[in-house]
Amino acid sequence: MDRMEARNPLVPVKVPGMLHEERESKCEPQRSEGKSSVGVAQVRRGPFHPGGNVRRCAGYRTAGRFLCYCRTQQAGFWYLSQGTESGMVEKYLNPAVRAEHIPSAMALSCGCENCLLGGGTTPHSPLCWRTPRRFWKISGEQDFSCGSGLTVNRMPSELDKKSKKQRQSLLEKVKVKSGRETGSAEKTRENIYIRVLRRGAGSHPSHIVKRTRFWTQNEARIGSRHQRAELELLPREEKKYVSRFWKEIHVGDFVRLRCNEIVPADILLLSSSDPDGLCHIETANLDGETNLKRRQVVRGFSDLVSEFNPLTFTSVIECEKPNNDLTRFRGCITHSSGEKAGLRTENLLLRGCTVRNTEAVAGIVVYAGHETKALLNNSGPRYKRSQLERQMNVDVLWCVLLLLCMSLFSAIGHGLWVRRHQEKKALFAVPESDGSSSSPVTAAVYSFLTMIIVLQVLIPISLYVSIEIVKVCQVYFINQDLDLYDEETDSRLQCRALNITEDLGQIQYIFSDKTGTLTENKMVFRRCTVSGVEYSHDANAQRLARYQEADSEEEEMAPQRGSWSRRGSTGSHQSVRVVHRTQSTKSHRHSGSRAEAKWASVLSRHTAFSSPMEKDVTPDPQLLEKVRECGRCLAMARHQEQPLGRLSPELSDIFDFFVALTVCNTVVVTSPDQPRQKVRVRFELKSPVKTIEDFLRRFTPSRLASVSSSTGSLATAKCSHKSGSGFLSSLSSDSTFLKLQERLGQPAPSVSSNGYSSQAESWAPEHKPEPEQCQDAELRYEAESPDEAALVYAARAYSCVLVDRLPDQVSVELPHLGRLSFELLHTLGFDATRKRMSVVIRHPLTGEISVYTKGADSALMDLLLPCSSEDARGRHQKRIRSKTQRFLNLYALQGLRTLCIAKRVLSKEEYACWLQGHLAAESALDNREELLFQSALRLETDLHLLGATGIEDRLQDGVPETISKLRQAGLHIWVLTGDKQETAVNIAHACRLLGHDEEIITLNAESQEACAALLEQSLQYARSRAPCSTPEKTEGNIPVGFFPLCSASKPATTAASGPSLSLVVDGRSLAYALEKNLEDKFLFLAKQCRSVLCCRSTPLQKSMVVKLVRSKLKAMTLAIGDGANDVSMIQVADVGVGISGQEGMQAVMASDVAVPKFRYLERLLIVHGHWCYSRLANMVLYFFYKNTMFVGLLFWFQFFCGFSASAMIDQWYLIFFNLLFSSLPQLVTGVLDKDVPAGTLLAEPQLYRSGQKMEESWPRAFWLNMVDAAFQSLVCFFIPYLAYYDSDVDMFTWGTPVTAIALLTFLLHLGIETKTWTWLNWTACGFSVLLFLMVALIYNSACAACYPPSNPYWTMQTLLRDPVFYLTCLIAPVTALLPRLFFKALQGSLFPTQLQLGHQLTKKCCETLKTPKETFAQGHLSGESQTELSQGSPANPSECLARDCASQASQHTQQPPACSPEASGKPSAVDTSVPLRENSLLGPLGPSTPGEAVSGECPGHLQRTPLGPGQAAPLSLFSLPSFGSLGWVSSLSAVSGLGSILRFSRSNLHVAKRDGKLLPGPPQPEQALSGSQRPATDS
């Protein structure tokens, strides 16, 4: 009886070992007494061979006792699964088998109950069996035997008492330990208590969790969280739940959870307080989605009349092995009656979820601890190592090699030296202690080892530490960037990965999702077509346009939004004005309608997809009228008890259409006042049809008569088999609802603007308008996908309001008809293969069973009822269909997401027939998915097309600009989307991914062979690049409306430069193309193309594409996405970027960087990526340089000390040199240095290419760097050597100046490499020198007889009085750095020549092209960026602008002349005439520019100032105010320093040009649409 107590002591076994021993000693005497079993003795004594088939024994020895757990392959007793991983098996080994209850082998083979709940020990160590059970086991209360198959368990009563006492004391301990307050609800995982009702051992033969049928009464435990204190006192018979730690939960435990508690393990839901047997959970911890998801009680338990009683649970559960598939769970439960029921994902509460909206649930644990799906999924992030780090590691290896070489050289040298001096008995030779001189070989070996230690500075251990520090700081700065902060969502960019910041500067390929990434993922209902009639929803379009206007207004206010800072800059002369402007912008935001919308969205952030923009739909008056009419007819029909057949086909279609919109979804209705309170309005209690009997019962003719409208007549009739509560609720349904409405609070003024509410009042006077409005305003829809929500909101605009959704019924508020309850018979959820979802409902008015299907047009159009053209109806249908198809194409062309709505009416017989199959499929154990799929296919045929909807997904702000910028930066952008081709292509056009004058190669292949052929052709074409003949093979496949765009661009593409290619691939072709034999071709083709668009791609394909590019092209990849479908791609890419947008947090959680919007990518990559990379690359190079140079000094000295490995630099200096003296400046530089200012980088994205090319130039840069280091060390060694040659200097007095020289050289070198000097740099450098001096002075005066061998007493002090010290310290660094400076200067004037010329060239072109961006770019580069700026003598306006840009964002448009006066005002040293002339040109041009700027083309539009041919003058060297503007420089010295040369690529020019032309592009489809629209509406 007491066993159970012993088994479940309320003890957190945190340190099992300790506790053991404590108990061990106490219980020792009793144990021996209790052990009379033969088996135990066997175990104790020796090797154990039950079946002769022992595979492995694990022993565990405590205090003289040996516990042995063995696993045999098929022993009668120690059953263990075969083929399981050994780690698992180890875990399954349960030392604490309650064998006395379990006569059979199966029971003994334990479940996963011991599997390290929340623990972290290794499964292999015996200590991992650290459950409380072992605890009592060891104490002797229970024992197990093996081999004999018999278990004897003796529990002396006194022992029991004793252990009880111990437990009591332990209990106290626990309380103190965890500091818990009784009754308070802890949330932390460790402390949370759950009510556990433990049962007998779970068995676990071969990965099927089976419930044993037997369990003992005394195992039911008593107590609850609040009664923990009297836990021990309660009589065991009461059998209550007790509180337990999470880690104590084992498989087979019964767990009861209350609302808002976190599920501790994977629990099979057996009971719920919800009368429907439902449990709502929030999976935010798993996937970040905050909408409620529904879980169902296992069938069989939901029908239990009384409360679930674990004591009577006798079923056996079988389920699959623990796996990491969150969306799949299969198994079956066998009840004691022999009845079997399938288990599904809907029955499983996953660990980590939160129970919501449900008072209490109970269930049985099927997976616990590390076997839960959540933890199995948690494979840990892929460790990403940045490319730079990889290169660096190679270099470190080189350094090791160098070290070895040096040591070896030195050792050989020493050996030779010793041999030479061996016989001489030189005075200075130090013999061995026995007087003999050491042999050369021994001496060499010692020297080698000593050298390794002396020269180990060469291995830059501190480099890794420094890099980490720098990266942390970089991440901090990125996180802090105000320009990456999104005010709308109050979120800022988060760098979640610390170690790959510099990869951001090397990206070559960007893989982007479309929906939610490029677009806002705010699905807005735009238009629809019903029964072949298009309702264009013009008002709706206008409303949306208003949002757009608000946007563009804002854009006017801040044209450079997203590019440059919006805030005032400290150094700017305009700062006052700037601040003012910023404020005005803000106030505008607050007052504007858009702003309201934003704020609303901020407010309602916790409910997805419910921004006002999405919620408010302005109904089309025509359609509204029809809906009303339809409602009126139906109401009339109902009153007159007439069948509904009187409705015209169109009206009935409309009616069905809206019913489908409302019903055919999985939207959960909640009320915002109590956000997680489900609105419960029950009219009757029914569950979805679960059995045939149920069906028969429900669909008897007598039932049909009773129309289930708003009264509970049916419910009363049916309630007999339902619980009382349901009965009550159904009886009081109406009143409940009214109460609810009252409870919902004051009827707030309708937020749903745009006249809907007024209309609603006008047409529905007979209804209580107020509560209804209130309802509309207050009800909130939580949808899994934004499309669903958009459709429900759209239906609501037509006053078809989804009021409530229960598993078995949907309540809809219809015009004139009032509230209707549709009996929901089945919901066939959406899946990617079917691309549609269906609901089966019973119509409340007609009683007929209908199927409403909603899905992609491609999926639905083929499933329609074949219509004969004979009868009129068929012809009508046909016409409708063709019209709808046309509209669908039109929608797709507009970039709308289309959905088709269809209906099917089932006869009872058909339904019964289908139901039978479906039920069989549902309960099938094998192949269930497949069967369900087939079943769904059977249902979704012969559909009757109702109509289609067009949902708009707007482009995010700044996407086209960002894309063009990224393009200029040399990034290839691939869009991988699941959308259909037409939509994707359109969006691609809209965001200028595809230029309108681009050739588009479309790969739509039906088979592998076709795909191969297509690829071959395309390749040939791409190679030949013949004048545009749009690839013939694509023509057949190019969809209507899309082709003309391409052909229209033909003439343009014949230009000499040739058009760039784009590739569009659909999912199926992609699958073929990704096959092993084709992937190379595909990749080659894709490489030729400027952009690649993959449509209809699955998440797996996305990741495969990324992987392919990453592995084959060896390119740095970045994947950006927002949804769960992008997770795999994000994880595979070198850098994964998640958009913390609308669709949950899954992508963000998988990502390395989370950005609020796509447009922030521009700044992230171009500015921060570049900075991070250049900073880190420079720092790494510097580090190598530093170490090599320092080690060089020591090495050269070996030539003068007989290679005896002595160091002239004091040991402490050697230690501190890297650690203290020279570390800070490089850190500061590594963190803060900006080789190019942000403004310039943004204006000239080409600069980004330096990072991409760095990879190739890295080895060269590295070795040059090393050579320089060697040279410098030579200089720094030999200058002091020669200076002190032939003097009486001693070794360490000479070593100190060498150290000082090295330090000064390092600092000066760093000074050359540092581009921006802030006070921090100065401080750090000063600090370094001072620190060295101080340390040296203090150290050298600290102790006269210490620190052997240097014994540096008063050395520094003496040196400071020695002029030679200063002289050498001056000349050595100067000489050492002279070549570097010289070559840097030379490079600045020679290599950038090409760069300069390129920019000159493009400048000229841009004059004619009038592409402002390019001019700007050249202005910058030729003007050598900021050099003159900092010197205050702007040579041309671009520089002045550059400064402005860098400092202040949004001012240019408003104040075009702002910078020109400044430019003219600046004194120019030599020739002021040039700038003046420019200003005079600029003046009149200024005002004209804002207009262009509004187009959003380029923030730096001002630069567009045409420079006349004479303007070349500013670039000639000595006529310039600034000498340097010619580019002596290294404006890109980071770049040039690393030996890479920036070239201006001509292709950029084309891009820009095209972009410029593209501007008027987008209206094109609009026109086409309006053209085709007219005939459509006419008909």
Q: Which span (631-639, 870-878, 1367-1375, 1478-1486) binds another protein, by CB under 8 A? A: 1367-1375
| Positions 1055 through 1114 that interact with another protein (CB under 8 A) | 1055-1057
| Positions 458 through 497 that interact with another protein (CB under 8 A) | 477, 479-482, 485, 487, 490-492
Complex with another protein: residue 484 or 1133, whichever CB lies closer: 484
Residue 603 binds another protein (CB under 8 A): yes
**DSSP code, position 955:** E
Q: Which span (766-774, 965-973, 1112-1120, 1381-1389) binds another protein, by CB under 8 A? A: 1381-1389
The minimum distance between CB 733 and another protein, in angstroms, equals 35
Residue 66 binds another protein (CB under 8 A): no
Indicate which single residue of 178, 1389, 1454, 1495 sits in contact with another protein (rule: CB under 8 A): 1389
Q: Quick one: tokens of 1545?
A: 């690529």
Indicate which single residue of 17, 724, 1349, 1575 sits in contact with another protein (rule: CB under 8 A): 1349
The minimum distance between CB 1375 and another protein, in angstroms, equals 5
Q: Quick one: tokens of 439?
A: 């042999």
Quote the Cα angle for 264-267-268, to 5°: 165
Residue 1290 binds another protein (CB under 8 A): yes
Residue 705 binds another protein (CB under 8 A): no
Residue 576 binds another protein (CB under 8 A): no
Complex with another protein: residue 498 or 1282, whichever CB lies closer: 1282
Q: What is the pairing mode between strands 509-512 and 1117-1121?
A: parallel
Please state, in angstroms and rounded to a whole number, the distance separating the CA atoms of residues 656 and 956: 34
The minimum distance between CB 1228 and another protein, in angstroms, equals 11
Given the structure tokens 């879980």, which residue do they identify? 295
Residue 1282 binds another protein (CB under 8 A): yes
> Is the separation of the CB atoms in 830 and 818 below 8 Å?
no
Q: Quick one: tokens of 977?
A: 């989307």
Please state, in angstroms and rounded to a whole number, the distance separating the CA atoms of residues 1477 and 1511: 9
Residue 575 binds another protein (CB under 8 A): no
The minimum distance between CB 864 and another protein, in angstroms, equals 45
Given the structure tokens 């945190």, which residue do they identify? 14
The minimum distance between CB 484 and another protein, in angstroms, equals 8
Complex with another protein: residue 27 or 406, whichever CB lies closer: 406
> Is the separation of the CB atoms in 340 and 276 below 8 Å?
no
Closest by Cα among 80, 27, 25 to 53: 80
Residue 1294 binds another protein (CB under 8 A): yes
| Positions 181 through 210 that interact with another protein (CB under 8 A) | none
Residue 216 binds another protein (CB under 8 A): no
Please state, in angstroms and rounded to a whole number, the distance separating the CA atoms of residues 325 and 347: 15
Q: Which span (334-342, 417-425, 1136-1144, 1451-1459) binds another protein, by CB under 8 A? A: 417-425
Please state, in angstroms and rounded to a whole number, the distance separating the CA atoms of residues 232 and 253: 20
Indicate which single residue of 1397, 1473, 1570, 1571 sits in contact with another protein (rule: CB under 8 A): 1397
The minimum distance between CB 760 and another protein, in angstroms, equals 22
- Amino acid type, 734: D
Residues β-bridged to residue 362: 256, 271
Quick one: 336 exposed, middle or buried, by C-beta within 10 A (0-12, 13-18, 19+)? exposed
Complex with another protein: residue 590 or 697, whichever CB lies closer: 590
Q: Which span (370-378, 389-397, 543-551, 1198-1206) binds another protein, by CB under 8 A? A: 1198-1206
Indicate which single residue of 65, 258, 419, 1404 sits in contact with another protein (rule: CB under 8 A): 1404
The minimum distance between CB 1377 and another protein, in angstroms, equals 10
Residue 749 binds another protein (CB under 8 A): no
Q: Which span (83-91, 281-289, 692-700, 1349-1357) binds another protein, by CB under 8 A? A: 1349-1357
Q: Quick one: tokens of 628?
A: 């009303």
Residues β-bridged to residue 972: 509
Indicate which single residue of 326, 412, 602, 1083 sits in contact with another protein (rule: CB under 8 A): 602
> Is the separation of the CB atoms in 534 and 995 below 8 Å?
no
Residue 1385 binds another protein (CB under 8 A): yes
Please state, in angstroms and rounded to a whole number, the distance separating the CA atoms of residues 233 and 218: 14
Binding mask 1115-1154 for another protein (x = CB under 8 A): ----------------------------------------
> Is the separation of the CB atoms in 229 and 182 below 8 Å?
yes
Indicate which single residue of 393, 691, 1007, 1430 sits in contact with another protein (rule: CB under 8 A): 1430
Residues β-bridged to residue 1345: none
DSSP 535-574: E--HHHHHHHHHHHHHHHHHHHH-TTTTTS--S--TT-TT
Q: What is the pairing mode between strands 1089-1094 and 972-976?
A: parallel
| Positions 1035 through 1064 that interact with another protein (CB under 8 A) | 1055-1057
| Positions 554 through 573 that interact with another protein (CB under 8 A) | 565, 567, 569-571
Residue 1512 binds another protein (CB under 8 A): yes
Active-site residue (options: 276, 287, 513, 1444):
513
Please state, in angstroms and rounded to a whole number, the distance separating the CA atoms of residues 581 and 575: 10
Residue 1346 binds another protein (CB under 8 A): yes
Indicate which single residue of 839, 1526, 1534, 1551 sits in contact with another protein (rule: CB under 8 A): 1526
Cα distances (angstroms) measured from residue 527 to each of 886, 891, 1126, 1467 = 14, 8, 29, 61
Residue 409 binds another protein (CB under 8 A): no
The minimum distance between CB 1480 and another protein, in angstroms, equals 23
Residue 1319 binds another protein (CB under 8 A): yes
- From edge to edge, which strands make up the β-sheet containing 519-530? 533-535, 519-530, 944-955, 896-906, 849-855, 836-842, 818-831, 809-814, 801-805
Please state, in angstroms and rounded to a whole number, the distance separating the CA atoms of residues 1553 and 312: 78
Q: Which residues contact 308 (CB under 8 A, 6 or more apart)?
A: 270, 271, 301, 362
Question: What is the H or E stretch that residue 823 is in?
Answer: strand 818-831
> Is the separation of the CB atoms in 1242 and 1159 below 8 Å?
no
Backbone Cα Rg of the chain: 39
**How many chain residues touch another protein (CB under 8 A)?**
130
Indicate which single residue of 104, 885, 1008, 1375 sits in contact with another protein (rule: CB under 8 A): 1375
Q: Which residues contact 1535 (CB under 8 A, 6 or more apart)?
A: 1174, 1235, 1247, 1250, 1541, 1542
Residue 762 binds another protein (CB under 8 A): no
Residue 1384 binds another protein (CB under 8 A): yes
Q: Quick one: tokens of 842?
A: 């019973």
Residue 1362 binds another protein (CB under 8 A): yes
| Positions 1321 through 1340 that interact with another protein (CB under 8 A) | none
| Positions 1221 through 1260 that interact with another protein (CB under 8 A) | 1232, 1234
Residue 1295 binds another protein (CB under 8 A): yes
Residue 1345 binds another protein (CB under 8 A): yes
**Total length of the chain:** 1579
The minimum distance between CB 1478 and another protein, in angstroms, equals 18
Q: Which span (100-108, 588-596, 1181-1189, 1212-1220) binds another protein, by CB under 8 A? A: 588-596
Residue 1530 binds another protein (CB under 8 A): yes
The 3-state DSSP class for residue 354 equals strand
Residue 453 binds another protein (CB under 8 A): no
Residue 1311 binds another protein (CB under 8 A): yes
Residue 435 binds another protein (CB under 8 A): yes
Residue 1371 binds another protein (CB under 8 A): yes
Please state, in angstroms and rounded to a whole number, the distance separating the CA atoms of residues 1152 and 1137: 6
Known catalytic residue at 953: no
Q: What is the pairing mode between strands 485-486 and 266-272?
A: unpaired
- Amino acid type, 806: L
Annotated catalytic residues are 513
